[in-house]
A and B are shown apart, each in its own frame.
Chain A
């Protein structure tokens, strides 16, 4: 579903991502781990189509993010590490805006908003302006907006930051459901326990280079993901 091939991104002389190649198939939850500044967010932004890159190719179901960005974006959703949303809208207006742009029918959006807002206990707050939301509430709203148009691929940067334990649990359930229904998820995290339990595959990036990737069993073997990660980082 998602193919990243020889991705290279430079900021001036600094190589942020260096010849990175990954494939994420339908049905997979793919974790992306690495220390701060390793190149995770740069890779994720490039996949989401909001950051250009110097070399390589990124395709979603065969469509290139460079040449067919709109086709690609219709199939995916992106949640950044810091959910800066439109403070001047209410939660419901923001969701309707996203639904409008993605062409979600009125009936479908109402059903999905009710479903996901109930899951995250956000229903009562949807009429409030986003500037009154806490960080966690904004994160929940960003998640609902990602799920509202039923994307096939969801790209997330640190999605669990700011979420309460119940919301974290519910998000994991939703992620699994989406992948069980033929979707795919590519997300970064620093919480290695979550990655270990949730992900089908994992990739470790260091200084812009992919240093290990594969199924969870292939990457960690008999050890824990944490010990493998620390070992590779050393």
Chain B
């Protein structure tokens, strides 16, 4: 029974990557190979490459200085952050909101089997993100230090324990969200706030840990004993990676106990959470005084309602907007510090700054991908849109406008903050602001393009289309990588050809991309939408 459920879970994941829902058949071998290559390039090549460089630059020096544990602590922290980003906002949805819950519960299947299959889905997402950091962490360490049992076993144990710890954090938070939202009327809003509070708490702890590590690095000779006493868990995590027996045993025992405890809690409460229908509306309709709206406004209202009605959708696809606002506020508050740091970083090379500023906006914009699952999310209700007397482009435009409403104001705000804090010239300021607008438009179009190329209307959990699948993956990471490329182009080229010119080139390229995507959406995109 468990095998069947796991096979079903894996089949769903496999289909979300390698099935052509538009043509209702498996992707051709060519498309599968292309998909795998794209994954390898984006995930292993670019992200993995970034973390390999990061690990490679630290592994040798820190292990030579006897601070192997610090190397593992830093890399592990990054892995946990990425893992949390990858799975925390989707665990509630994958565990409790699958459409086949009632069906599975009506069958003679032990609840623990359903739970294990669901957990496997969350764990795979967690692996996909954490291993991008943890594998380079292991490999670069093994290259840097002489082989021994401790140096081989330690990183492996830390890798396994880290992935389990991320699973505990994300499913634990998913459970808390589920318990609280049982009693809430507006579940989506409650879930969004609880998840944000949870992630805020995690980052607070993380940054506290970063401060401690920073203090340690600044006072590297005197602080090891202090760290050992004050923040023993951090030290133990690092020492686990270094292969020391006692920390390995303690960390493993703690993580395993936590994993088992969370599993038991999830298992015991699953039926109650899934089958309790509390918070049902008792409102009685007493007439309506709504004013008539135009068809375009009605379609926009529908998209906004869809976006805000699901915490999974709001959190996973709108997070970047919140981060851009926070970044803008942070810049305005800590302007002097940021300006000082950046000037120091690029001392004598002011041309770099505007390009980096533009690249940062583009990279952060990638985290707003509302359009990327917007077609798939219509699911079985797509007949409504298709039977309405509106053109497909009107429907697609409503999706684009929704994303722009969410992403454009924070992007422009961040651009203006950057212009003020980094003391950019008038031309550079205008270019950064216009680039932020062009990037917001292109990002919205690109998400829609990817979704129309890889639609999936037959999902059992909306998480499948919000978080999994080739389209969503590329829609998220490709623009992020482009942002990083813009930043690096600034670092390496701005001094040679001038920051303003380089920024102008990126702006023109972004506008050209937006124009091309607009043409594709109008010609091919509408045809694909009608054929779904």
Contact between A88 and B380 (Cβ–Cβ < 8 Å)?
no
A70-B390, A100-B293, A101-B388 given; A89·B305 CB < 8 A: yes
Q: A73 touches which one: B293, B310, B389 (CB < 8 A)?
A: B389
What size tier do the contact residues of chain B reach? 35 or more
Q: A85 touches which one: B281, B284, B292, B381 (CB < 8 A)?
A: B381
Contact between B295 and A101 (Cβ–Cβ < 8 Å)?
yes
List residues 17-55 of chain A with CB under 8 A from any CB of chain B: 48-50, 52
Smallest CB-CB separation from B291: which chain A residue? A106
Task: List B contacts of A109 (CB < 8 A).
Answer: 292
The answer, yes or no, to whether A103 is at the interface (CB within 8 Å) is yes
Task: List B contacts of A123 (CB < 8 A).
Answer: 285
A82-B380, A103-B295, A127-B281 given; A96·B290 CB < 8 A: yes
What size tier do the contact residues of chain A reach? 35 or more
Task: List A contacts of B280 (CB < 8 A).
Answer: 128, 132
Contact between A88 and B309 (Cβ–Cβ < 8 Å)?
yes
Central interface residue in B387, B388, B531, by most chain A CB within 10 Å: B387
The answer, yes or no, to whether B345 is at the interface (CB within 8 Å) is no
Smallest CB-CB separation from B382: which chain A residue? A50
Task: List A contacts of B387 (CB < 8 A).
Answer: 48-50, 73, 77-78
Chain B nearest CB from A171 CB (Å) reads 19
Contact between A106 and B290 (Cβ–Cβ < 8 Å)?
yes
Indicate with 1 or 0, residue by residue over A152-192, a CB within 8 angstroms of chain B CB atoms: 00000000000000000000000000000000000000000
The answer, yes or no, to whether B530 is at the interface (CB within 8 Å) is yes
The answer, yes or no, to whether B397 is at the interface (CB within 8 Å) is no
Bound-state Cα–Cα, A106 to B291, Å: 6
**Chain A, interface SS category:** helix
Q: A128 touches which one: B283, B297, B379, B383 (CB < 8 A)?
A: B283
Smallest CB-CB separation from A128: which chain B residue? B281
Bound-state Cα–Cα, A78 to B279, Å: 33
Contact between A101 and B285 (Cβ–Cβ < 8 Å)?
no
Contact between A101 and B305 (Cβ–Cβ < 8 Å)?
no
Q: A96 touches which one: B288, B295, B389 (CB < 8 A)?
A: B288
Contact between B383 and A70 (Cβ–Cβ < 8 Å)?
no
Bound-state Cα–Cα, A146 to B309, Å: 25
Bound-state Cα–Cα, A126 to B295, Å: 21
Contact between B386 and A50 (Cβ–Cβ < 8 Å)?
yes
Task: List B contacts of A104 (CB < 8 A).
Answer: 292
A50-B387, A102-B389 given; A84·B379 CB < 8 A: yes
The answer, yes or no, to whether A105 is at the interface (CB within 8 Å) is yes
Contact between A86 and B285 (Cβ–Cβ < 8 Å)?
no
Chain B nearest CB from A15 CB (Å) reads 17
Task: List A contacts of B530 (CB < 8 A).
Answer: 52
A96-B290, A101-B295, A101-B299 given; A127·B531 CB < 8 A: no
Bound-state Cα–Cα, A104 to B295, Å: 10
The answer, yes or no, to whether B208 is at the interface (CB within 8 Å) is no
Smallest CB-CB separation from B282: which chain A residue? A128
List residues 116-137 of chain A with CB under 8 A from any CB of chain B: 117, 123-129, 132
Bound-state Cα–Cα, A109 to B283, Å: 21
Contact between A99 and B292 (Cβ–Cβ < 8 Å)?
yes
Contact between A100 and B285 (Cβ–Cβ < 8 Å)?
no
List residues 347-390 of chain B with CB under 8 A from any CB of chain A: 379-381, 383-384, 386-390
Identify 13 new A-B residue pairs, CB closer than 8 A, beyond the known A125-B285, A126-B285: A50-B383, A71-B389, A82-B380, A92-B288, A96-B290, A97-B301, A100-B293, A101-B388, A102-B388, A106-B292, A127-B284, A128-B283, A132-B280
Q: Which residues of A contact B (CB under 8 A)?
A: 48-50, 52, 70-71, 73-74, 77-78, 80, 82, 84-86, 88-93, 96-106, 109-110, 113, 117, 123-129, 132
Q: Which residues of B contact A (CB under 8 A)?
A: 280-281, 283-288, 290-295, 297-299, 301-302, 305-306, 309-310, 379-381, 383-384, 386-391, 530-531
